[in-house]
A and B are shown apart, each in its own frame.
Chain A
């Protein structure tokens, strides 16, 4: 990692309140489907590799950009790097993928992408993130795994 921060002074956004559970959600007889907020809650607390801030505080992930299709078991997430030449974008995307693989039921297919037009090498990054083999290979690298784990500690 570079000694110098690429975006030394990022804009900081407000954090969403903790989710409040309704009476229906406390009723054991009713089935709660996975919704966008639930997935967003899983990823919003992930720490940025550069700053001591969460992806939510940097507005890298947003609830509106999480789409859950329960019928097709598909979850699509668009994330927005703070700057368009951010070299951490792949790492951030990989961290989101790893977090979701660890915390979501295996029936879901996870599709993590960069918000359209928000990164210089958008296509290449999207391709890497959605290639299962590349993700598995990346996780076998202990140094990379260490960085990802550091971003994930305390992320819930």
Chain B
């Protein structure tokens, strides 16, 4: 007994504590209770018993604390801690609490929400909740938070307790309708709309469908834009409610029709959207009685393009499409509807002067796109009228009528046609009409007719052989006789479509004739502007490999012929450019090899060996060979590694072993020379032959894929190094490029093995007076190649260049060497030459070279021209580096910037210095060391520079300076700046005036009351 009393007392003590501390939430010590329950020191029953006096207290405050504590503890318990029985008991308790005062109702609802969501309660409980809610709670008068929870509970019930709800369907539905009716909060509405869809999908509404629809129908259309959500979100959710059940059709359709007649743009669009989505759900039976009135609205909105917005028209046409797809299965309804549409649209179709042709055609296009049978019907109705327009109307109206064919043909390609050889109604007449309109006299009509033909070819409409032939003849006529650029451009596009559509006919009747004409003109040297155009036109018609082969082989033939004939026509240049385009447009490797690379290799080798060509070679310049080697370079850029390897081997054999047999096994059939090797080999590697051969070598090594393995690397490099000293400047330059490319494209080990040799060559060249400049050029080329590919030897070359900058006395050579540091950043050559590129090499070069370059620049013993060279080397690099990177560098280079601003002899450096001030200063005013001198220098440039961009940038810098520095610093300069800028306001260029006005205004405001 004593023990029991102690135990009771022990239990009673904490309850007293709770009672004492129940005024604040922390006193209940929810966490402690939860911990005790989880660690089994306290059972859930014992905890409830402890709370009993609070839960049953007559004082509201205590009751609230009790209910709240109970909910807080239940919420913090681990998932599934409560058994089914306990969950039911607690749920029942909280449901009963819904009778209580409103502050307790809130906690009770939260607890019910939690329990229903995380535990499975019995059907009795769900029924109890529904009846209690119906009887006790006026949801509409509850605070927003409670309403939101109640709607969420409805959602949970539908998700987890659907079977239970089916037993109390009516109660639940009435409960939901009562609860949701008149809700105005958009967040709550969104939950209601989602719940509404779930209810309609899972519970049969029976006699309550009208009430249910009324519940959401009153919100349609959503016209306001709530703060927390978007109008579109709400509108979309409401739209889903409309299409949730076909039983809503009798109520929804009249409502939609009412809104279609609204003046509000969004209402109309929403109404059409609902109609588009709901048509298939509501079905023909429900829709049928309303079709005429809906059509009237669609017609009005689609045709009144002057008042309706584009959104309305699109929505109306979408609705029309949905209606037709819905009634498509019922031929009677469909025919009646089409009859109505055709009758209504006939006047606007016939009377072009009403200016409603385009919108009318849009409606027909929508109908035609709904099926092949509908296209047939529309075509049979519309095409005769359009043909009539084309025959009897004025030219402008004819163009409009052609648009009808254009629009409707564009539909055919998307139709599922059963017959592959499908012919559109009146196709022959339309085709004839188009062909007869292909006359250059009326360019607008001709272009429209061409467009119609283009659509017809894209639509895969069947064309008979006779039709194809007549189209071919007409095209040929148009292309050969026309001089109008617009027509020619369009006819090229249409011809391309036609060639793809009817390859055989076009080959026989157009391309063969065009080829013959071009060949004849080019070979006879009578190339006219027309034949130049035809060369371009043919390029667009190369639909298969055989046509490409023909074109390439003929093009190459013309390029070779033009070389020797030295005629002034541009055919070779045009062919060269076109062949490059064809090569870049994914050409097969075999064709590339057979048609371009192989013939060029053979021709060049033969040219260098054959007596017949001696005179020509003597007189030819690199420029004459440009079209030929441009094509060759493009071909090597695209050629596969395996094929390239073969050519590399052959060229190396030729250069190192003097063996030409791999390149030219036998003389070409047209030549009768004996290729007297012993005699010719002497000539072969000397001027002028070497000049041509080196161009070929240059095309190969400077453009080939960088992964091709090069045999006899050392020997090849040595050979090229020998050519650097060649008498011809051209050969020397070409060999420099080849050396650079070879070094760039080979791996580090190979380069290391030849590096000493390369260095020796550079040193020898630099020390010889005769080839000093070439030595520097070689150094620059190698530095660029090695830096780009990230080779470590580049550092030695950099120090060599720097030492040259410091010691050399030849001003031009020093400036050249300084430019090397800028040239390495230029990526144009990289893209063209398939070069290897190391990541972040720009940054690497800059940071490696900056200290030494700055040291040179700040050396006071140096003359101005040498300093200028160092400035070029540093500032030239800056424009290739990111601003963020350079911001930290600004302090290091500010003296350089001041120097460059004053150096009027180097305009480029001035621009870069101004850019540096503009982009790098930002908010750091400490960047400029001497503000006064900088401001006056900027002022001087704004006023006096002869270059627009310098004046403009200097004015911008002045405006920036006004923002960055304190008024105390700038005030002494203000008057002079304001006065001097007055002259810049009258600058001859508007761009400078804008910048000067801004700068002057900012400087005027310095020191003024603001």
* Chain B residues whose C-beta falls within 8 Å of the C-beta of A34 in the assembled complex: 990, 993
Q: Which of B306-314, B544-552, B997-1005 contacts A (4 or more CB under 8 A)?
A: B997-1005
* Chain B residues whose C-beta falls within 8 Å of the C-beta of A104 in the assembled complex: 985, 997
* Chain B residues whose C-beta falls within 8 Å of the C-beta of A145 in the assembled complex: 1008-1009
Give the docked Cα–Cα distance between A122 and B494 (Å). Answer: 64
Contact indicator A42/B1005 (Cβ below 8 Å): no
**Contact of B432 with A by CB under 8 A:** no
Number of A-B contacts (CB under 8 A): 61
Contact indicator B948/A150 (Cβ below 8 Å): no
**Contact of B166 with A by CB under 8 A:** no
Contacting residue for B997 out of A32, A103, A106, A146, CB 8 A: A103
Contact indicator A32/B1008 (Cβ below 8 Å): no
Contacting residue for B991 out of A21, A42, A149, A153, CB 8 A: A21
Contact indicator A142/B990 (Cβ below 8 Å): no
* Chain B residues whose C-beta falls within 8 Å of the C-beta of A146 in the assembled complex: 1009-1010
Give the docked Cα–Cα distance between A155 and B1005 (Å). Answer: 12
* Chain A residues whose C-beta falls within 8 Å of the C-beta of B589 in the assembled complex: none
Give the docked Cα–Cα distance between A105 and B902 (Å). Answer: 28
Contact indicator B948/A26 (Cβ below 8 Å): yes
Give the docked Cα–Cα distance between A154 and B765 (Å). Answer: 61
Task: Give per-residue flags for B965-1005: 1 if the beta carbon is below 8 A from chain A beta carbons, else 0.
Answer: 00000000000000000100110111101100110110011
Chain B residue with minimal CB distance to A37?
Answer: B990
Contacts known (A102-B1001, A103-B1000); A153 close to B1010, Cβ less than 8 A: yes
Interface residues of B in 323-345 (CB under 8 A from A): none
**Contact of A25 with B by CB under 8 A:** yes
Contact indicator A107/B986 (Cβ below 8 Å): yes
B118 shortest CB reach to chain A, Å: 50
B370 shortest CB reach to chain A, Å: 40
* Chain A residues whose C-beta falls within 8 Å of the C-beta of B1010 in the assembled complex: 146, 149-150, 153
A32 shortest CB reach to chain B, Å: 4
**Contact of A156 with B by CB under 8 A:** yes
Chain A residue with minimal CB distance to B986?
Answer: A105
* Chain A residues whose C-beta falls within 8 Å of the C-beta of B988 in the assembled complex: 31-32
Contacts known (A103-B997, A103-B1001); A149 close to B1008, Cβ less than 8 A: yes
**Contact of B168 with A by CB under 8 A:** no
B1006 shortest CB reach to chain A, Å: 11
Query: What's the tally of chain B residues with a CB closer than 8 Å to chain A?
Result: 21
* Chain A residues whose C-beta falls within 8 Å of the C-beta of B946 in the assembled complex: 28
* Chain B residues whose C-beta falls within 8 Å of the C-beta of A28 in the assembled complex: 946-948, 989
Contact indicator B1001/A156 (Cβ below 8 Å): yes
A68 shortest CB reach to chain B, Å: 12
Give the docked Cα–Cα distance between A145 and B1000 (Å). Answer: 17
Contact indicator A152/B1009 (Cβ below 8 Å): no
Contacting residue for A38 out of B990, B1005, B1009, CB 8 A: B990
Contact indicator A102/B994 (Cβ below 8 Å): no
* Chain A residues whose C-beta falls within 8 Å of the C-beta of B982 in the assembled complex: 105-106
Give the docked Cα–Cα distance between A124 and B985 (Å). Answer: 31
Contacting residue for B1001 out of A32, A106, A155, CB 8 A: A155
A61 shortest CB reach to chain B, Å: 16
Give the docked Cα–Cα distance between A41 and B993 (Å). Answer: 12
Interface size class of A (residues with CB under 8 A): 20 to 34
Contacts known (A28-B948, A146-B1009, A150-B1010); A103 close to B985, Cβ less than 8 A: yes
A17 shortest CB reach to chain B, Å: 15
User: Max chain A CB contacts within 10 Å: which of B986, B989, B990, B1000?
Assistant: B990
Give the docked Cα–Cα distance between A149 and B1006 (Å). Answer: 11
A101 shortest CB reach to chain B, Å: 10
Task: Give per-residue flags for A122-156: 1 if the beta carbon is below 8 A from chain B beta carbons, else 0.
Answer: 00000000000000000000110110011011011
Give the docked Cα–Cα distance between A143 and B1001 (Å). Answer: 19
Contact indicator B1004/A102 (Cβ below 8 Å): yes
Contacts known (A149-B1010, A152-B1005); A32 close to B1000, Cβ less than 8 A: no
Chain B residue with minimal CB distance to A142?
Answer: B1009
Task: Give per-residue flags for A93-115: 1 if the beta carbon is below 8 A from chain B beta carbons, else 0.
Answer: 00000010011111100000000
Give the docked Cα–Cα distance between A38 and B993 (Å). Answer: 9
A35 shortest CB reach to chain B, Å: 8
Beyond A21-B991, A146-B1010, A153-B1005, list 16 extra A-B contacts (CB 8 Å): A26-B948, A28-B946, A31-B988, A32-B988, A34-B990, A41-B994, A102-B1000, A103-B997, A103-B1001, A105-B986, A106-B982, A145-B1009, A149-B1005, A149-B1008, A149-B1010, A155-B1001
Measured CB to CB, the residues of A under 8 A from B are 21, 25-28, 31-32, 34-35, 38, 41-42, 99, 102-107, 142-143, 145-146, 149-150, 152-153, 155-156
Measured CB to CB, the residues of B under 8 A from A are 946-948, 982, 985-986, 988-991, 993-994, 997-998, 1000-1001, 1004-1005, 1008-1010
14 residue pairs of the A-B complex, CB under 8 angstroms, read: A26-B948, A38-B993, A38-B994, A42-B997, A99-B1001, A102-B1000, A103-B997, A103-B1000, A105-B986, A145-B1009, A149-B1010, A150-B1010, A152-B1001, A152-B1005
